[in-house]
Amino acid sequence: MGDKKKDKKKQVDTVAEIIVKRCPECFVSLPLDAKECFSCHSKIGRADKHGKARKSVNWISYIICILSWTVFFVYIKWAFKL
């Protein structure tokens, strides 16, 4: 039981030591509260335990891709009367 408390304290200490995060695209050091990289202008998320920021998911691209494939299949079905 004492080991869990030590592990938690060690984990909190390592997280507290991170004062900057790195952009996942261009590896520029950024402040922890940054939402966008000033160098490459990519959107970034929170920092992991190593100080590297996570990439934000580009949901608009996924939605456009799905809609494009749907329109394509509907057109093929309509054009060839399948």
pTM: 0.48
- The residue extents of the domains of the chain are 2-57
Q: Is 62 exposed, middle or buried (0-12, 13-18, 19+ CB in 10 A)?
A: exposed
| 3-state SS, residue 27 | coil
Give mean pLDDT in consecutive 10-residue pieces for the chain, a chain of 82 residues.
56 62 87 88 84 83 97 95 72
pLDDT value of residue 64: 97
- The two three-digit tokens of residue 32, written as one number: 């922890």
Q: How many residues would you count in the chain?
A: 82
Gap between the Cα atoms of 49 and 22, Å rounded: 12
